[in-house]
Structure 1
Amino acid sequence: MSTSLPGPWRRLLDEARAYPSPHNSQPIVVRVLDAGRAELLYDLERGLPAENFGIPFGQVCAGVYVESLATVAAGHGWSVAAELRDDGLDFDAAARHQPLGTLELGRAAITPRAEADLAAFRRRRTSRRPYQDLPVDPAVLAEAGALAAAAGHDFGHTAQRGLVDRLVRINQETLFDDLRNDAVHAEILAWIRTSDRSAEATRDGLSARTLLLPGPLLGFAMRHRGMWDLPLAGPLLRRIYLNTMRGVRELGWLTGPFGSPLDHVAAGRLFLRIWLAFTRADVYLHPFGTVITNPRSHAAFTDAAGIVEDGAGGEHLAWMLFRYGHSAEPPRALRRELPEMLLDRDGSTSWDR
C-alpha cells in the first residue's frame, strides 16, 4: 500500500497514530476515500474481548483516536467532523474490520490553543515511573473539572493519603485477580513484550521497558501466574510491581454518561482533552483501566471513593481512574507504521500482502 494519500491525510494520520490505546493494541484503522473524507474502522483482532468492558472501551478508544486526529488536524489548519455510528461493536462478527463512522476534513484557522494542544499531543505519554511527592497545581485540576463539566461529566480527585493508598492497593490486587481469570490472563499474555527485540518486531503491546520491569522476570511471572500466590515469591513479585507506584500523591477519576456507544466515544474524546490539559502543565498520567473493567475492583473503587452510580444502563458510571503527577520522562511506547493502520478500498491491508 502506498502512503501517497490525497490531500493532507498522510501527514495527519501519521501523527495521529501516536494516540493511546488499551494495552497499546492500536485497533483503529482508516480507509481514505478522497482528499477530504475517510472511513473509521475497528480491527477486531486487536480488540480486548476478555475484558468485562471490552466493547465499551473499544469505543472509548475510537473516541480517543478521533480527538487525537482532531488535535493534530487543528494544529495544521484543518478541522475534523466525525459522524459515528451508535451501534456497538460485535466481537463475534465474521468481518475483521467493523465500521465506526466517517470523518470529513475542512479548513480551519490555526489558533494559539491549537498549537499548544498539538505540542502537548506530541509530548504526551503514559508514565509508569515513580512519581515525585509534589502537588499538582490546583489550576490544572480546575481546568480538568471544567472540561469534564462541559461534556456532562464529573471530575473527582483526591490527595487524601488513606484513600490514595487504598485505591493504589485495589489497582495492585486487580492484576492478581485478573491473572486468575483464564481468558483475561491469555489476553494479557498476548500483549506482553518481554524484550526490546519483540517490541520492535510488533511495535505494539506492553513492553517490559515501558512497564519498567525486567523482561525475563516479567515473562516468567506472567506465564507462571501461580507464583504470585506463593509464600516467598508472591510478596517479592508484588513488591517489585509496587515499586513503580512510589510517590503517588493524587488520583483522579471521571464519572458520567456511559450507556450507549456514542457515550463511550464522547468519553474517549473527553479523556484525551483532559490528558492534554495535564500534559500542557507537564503533569503525567497513568490510567488504572483494569480497576474499571474488573467487576470486583470496580465495586471496591466506587465504594472507597464514595461514588454513587445511577442507572443499570450506565446513565452515570465511574468509567476512568488514573494517577497523575510529576515524574522523570518515561520511555515512549512504540507504534506501528502508518501503512499498517490503513485499509484499501477492497479491505486489504499492507500486512496482508
Structure 2
Amino acid sequence: MKRREFIIQSGTVLTAAALISTFSGLPTHAEAAQAGKPTRRPDPNAFAQPIMKAIAWGVNAPSPHNTQSWKFAILGDLTMLLYVDEQVLLPATDPPSRQIHLGAGCFIETLALAATTMGYETTVEMFPEGYESDQDFGRKPVAHLALRESTATPDPLATYITVRQTNRQVYSGPRITLSEFAELTRLAGRGHAEVVFKHESLDPFLAMFYEGLDVESRTFRTNEETRKLFRFTEQQMAEKGNGLSLGQMGYSGIMKAIVTRAVNYGDPKKWHSVRSIDASMKKMKKGIDSTKGIVFWITPTNTYLDWVQTGRDYARFALALTSQDLYAHPYNQAIQEYDEMKPLRDRLNEIMQIVNPQKIQMVIRIGRGQVPFYSYRRQTFNIKDSKTSKLTQQP
C-alpha cells in the first residue's frame, strides 16, 4: 500500500484511532476482518511523519480496562499534545480518573521508548497549561511531547513494545526470586514511585485480591461498567478495538464458547446473575492463587503528576517483565476509590503502612505463563471540534 503523508492543521485534536485509521489509509479492524486479513495493531511504517509513527507505536501501551483513553493535538511533524479522552473514562471503578491518567503515563513512556528506535529522543513537558481539577480532563493537555533527532542507542525495552501483554491466566513454575526482581528493576530503571516487591507470605494479599474483585463484581454499577466494555465475538472486538474479552480473561476453545452462551453475549440479566458471578470468581481465583510475586507502586503524595509518572514507571516495568518471559496482571480493585471499596482499601493501607497523603498507585501479580490473547487497539474515534478542524491529505 502506498504511503501517504498528512499535514495536520495546528490545534486539531484527535483520538489515537482517528489518527491511525483516517490518516494511514489502512482498513479498519472490521474491514480487515471481513476481508479475511484481521489486523489488531497499527503499523508505524504506514506513516511518513515522525510524530505519527511514534503515536502508532505508543498506542500499544497498556491502559485500564483497555480503554485507550488518549487523544492528541498534532502541532507539527515532531510535536504533539497528549490529552485524556474525557469521553472514555471509568466513573464507576475509577471515580477520580486516577487509573486513566496512569494509562496516559503508559502511553507517554511507550512512545518515548519507541522514538529511540526511530533516531529520536523525546522531551516531555507535563501539564503545560496547568491542571487543577476534573474540569481540565480532555480540555487541557496532560503533556507536550517533542521529538528531537538523536544518535543515542535505542532503548532495549523498545524491542518488546508489540509483544507485551497483560496475562490474566494461571501462572506456573516457582515464585519470582529477589534476584529476578532486582534484574527487573535494573532493566526498568529508577522511576518516580517507590516499588515494593512481595514474594513470601502472600496469602493476606491474595485474599484481598479476591475480595476486591468480589466487591467489584457484586456491585451493580461497577460490574455494569465492565459489561459495557466486554466484547464477545471477533467481529465485536474488530469493530470496537478496545475493552475486554473472554480471550483476555484466559478463556479459550470450548470453555470460551460455553461462557459466551452462559452470559448470552453479555445480556444484562445473565451477566449480573449470582450464578454467572460465582462462576467468574471461581475462574479468577485460580489465577489469583497462582501468583508468583506481587509488586506495588507507592508515591509519597497523590497528585496528577504522581498518577502520570507512575504510569510511565509501570510501562517500563511491564516491558522489563516481557524481556524476561514474565507476565503481569494488575489487581487494582483494593485501591480503587469508590465507597464500597473503602474498608478493603483501609486494610491494605494498614498492612502496607500507608499513611495519608501516601498512595498505593498500582498493584500487580506477576509470574510465568502461557502466551496470552493478543488484544486489539482502536481505529475508529470521533474528532473533537470537527467543525473547525481541517485535515489536508497529500500523496
Structure with greater helix percent = 1
Residue 13 to residue 273, structure 1, CA distance change in 2 (3 Å): same
TM superposition shift of 1:149: 8.7
Aligned identity (percent) is 20
Matched, 1:332 2:332: no
TM superposition shift of 1:72: 0.7
Aligned equivalent of 2:273:
227
TM superposition shift of 1:101: 2.8
TM-score (norm 1): 0.83
Matched, 1:285 2:285: no
- 1:285, 1:322 within 8 Å by CA — same for their partners in 2? yes
Aligned equivalent of 2:242:
204
TM superposition shift of 1:288: 0.6
Matches within 5 A, 1:71-220: 71-85=113-127, 86-88=130-132, 90=134, 98-111=140-153, 114=155, 116-145=156-185, 150-160=190-200, 163-213=201-251, 214=256, 215-217=260-262, 219=265
Residue 149 to residue 33, structure 1, CA distance change in 2 (3 Å): closer
Return 5+ residue gaps in structure 2 as ranges.
Answer: 1-21, 25-45
What's the secondary structure of 2:68's corresponding residue?
Answer: coil
TM superposition shift of 1:158: 1.9
- 1:140, 1:277 within 8 Å by CA — same for their partners in 2? no
Structure 1: how far apart are the matches of 2:245 and 2:359? Answer: 31
Aligned equivalent of 1:66:
108
RMSD between aligned residues: 3.0
TM superposition shift of 1:235: 4.8
- 1:342, 1:349 within 8 Å by CA — same for their partners in 2? no
Structure 2: how far apart are the matches of 1:167 and 1:347? Answer: 51
Structure 2: how far apart are the matches of 1:336 and 1:196? Answer: 14
Residue 150 to residue 28, structure 1, CA distance change in 2 (3 Å): same
- 1:282, 1:326 within 8 Å by CA — same for their partners in 2? yes
- 1:124, 1:276 within 8 Å by CA — same for their partners in 2? yes
Structure 2: how far apart are the matches of 1:69 and 1:172? Answer: 34
TM-score (norm 2): 0.75
Matching residue's letter, 2:124? A
TM superposition shift of 1:89: 5.3
Q: Deviations over 1:137-158 (max 9, x none)?
A: 5333114456889335322222
What's the secondary structure of 1:320's corresponding residue?
Answer: strand
Aligned equivalent of 2:34:
none
Residue 226 to residue 36, structure 1, CA distance change in 2 (3 Å): closer
Matching residue's letter, 2:319? L
Structure 1: how far apart are the matches of 2:287 and 2:266? Answer: 19
Matching residue's letter, 1:274? F
- 2:71, 2:85 within 8 Å by CA — same for their partners in 1? yes
Matches within 5 A, 1:6-45: 7-45=49-87
TM superposition shift of 1:327: 0.5
- 1:292, 1:298 within 8 Å by CA — same for their partners in 2? yes
Return 5+ residue gaps in structure 1 as ranges.
Answer: none
- 1:292, 1:319 within 8 Å by CA — same for their partners in 2? yes
Q: Deviations over 1:186-208 (max 9, x none)?
A: 32222111222211220100111
Matched, 1:298 2:345: yes
Residue 288 to residue 280, structure 1, CA distance change in 2 (3 Å): same
Residue 198 to residue 149, structure 1, CA distance change in 2 (3 Å): closer
Which deviates more, 137-146 or 120-129? 137-146
Residue 33 to residue 342, structure 1, CA distance change in 2 (3 Å): farther
